[in-house]
Structure 1
């Protein structure tokens, strides 16, 4: 049996709140998804070009303003589709208000093209979407089993968890999502967080002071 070809993955901070934007690409088809383009569209495009990738979908872990700021420009420049869970629609519809509250310039963003669902296969055919509510009602994580890669957005951080004091936050739901969805995955998985450094899932299961397995 031939081993699966390794995914192309690059994560880098963008935008005023240094949100982690991640490019995930199939090295064979050269199709890619961009997760959480929170700013700096030219930088995102340059990274895609460097890897020889064509973005086909722009996917959001949730609809807080710092994770979307380059989404509209990226869609306009590439023709890629926008993806979000429908439970965060109320946040997406109020992106301008979010930006105003935090003093960040707002650039209009079109409505999502596709509403993500739990266990849905992602556009590049290499992973699945997991509904992990708590930080927001529609928070999603993205799991790439062959690559042992989990993109957790603002649900799980290095020795921390996402805040639940913003619109729609639910601390009990967040803990359930982490214990019942994320902590059931491969302990060796690399976790890409919404902000800050990567971590290892097994380490969080044993050492995260907020939620342990």
Structure 2
């Protein structure tokens, strides 16, 4: 009988002026970690990594709206980790300063992404995969950790809600298709980490989400 796998390390907490959910995912054996959506407060993120004894190897983004990247440049500088984004959100990344001006948020320069994320790509710590779930933005990504029954959905799916589609590149029929075809086919018992606000359960959204039901 194989020994049970040690549980993935996961901590989610709100950061930055728009309270984006930043998530740390760590491999309990190698102590390598990915940081998802460092939207501010780099000192807090670094402190939480240190508390778990983790070394961040990649910084991954669900999409390139300003509130999901504000600490990315500082995190890269402090850790040497690589920055990852889907190519179809490059136009948003190239206009981060403009986004900050529009929302009255101070801009901290962020270097270009090191690597483009692709659909079904395995993540750096070897414990999850990237899913391309466009609609909120053309390059929106979700991250699926099957063993942990954990879905990081960014601003694609919320507790009884979905991401807005009235910003740059958003499209309602596309987000609806992404949710139905990519997310609702995953494990109903999965915990969904949303881009803002509380976690939810995938099966509950499949049945009770007023915008997109399975």
Partner of 1:143: 144
TM-superposed deviation, 1:4: 2.2
* SS of 1:38 mapped into structure 2: coil
Task: Quote the Cα distance in structure 2 between the aligned partners of 1:4 and 1:137.
Answer: 36
Does the 8 Å CA contact 1:33/1:55 hold for their aligned counterparts? Answer: yes
* SS of 1:202 mapped into structure 2: helix
Partner of 1:2: 3
TM-superposed deviation, 1:84: 0.2
Partner of 1:133: 134
Runs of 4+ residues over 3 Å off in structure 1: none
Partner of 1:88: 89
Does the 8 Å CA contact 1:4/1:146 hold for their aligned counterparts? Answer: no
TM-superposed deviation, 1:3: 2.5
Q: Deviations over 1:60-115 (max 9, x none)?
A: 00000000000000000000000000000000000000000000000100000000
State the number of aligned residues.
Answer: 213
Partner of 2:193: 192
TM-score (norm 1): 0.99
Partner of 1:164: 165
Task: Quote the Cα distance in structure 1 between the aligned partners of 2:3 and 2:129.
Answer: 22
Partner of 1:50: 51
Does the 8 Å CA contact 1:21/1:34 hold for their aligned counterparts? Answer: yes
Partner of 2:100: 99
Partner of 1:182: 183
Partner of 2:60: 59
Does the 8 Å CA contact 1:19/1:195 hold for their aligned counterparts? Answer: yes
TM-superposed deviation, 1:119: 0.1
Partner of 2:114: 113
Task: Quote the Cα distance in structure 2 between the aligned partners of 1:4 and 1:84.
Answer: 29
Gaps of 5+ in 2: none
Partner of 1:36: 37
TM-superposed deviation, 1:5: 1.7
Gaps of 5+ in 1: none
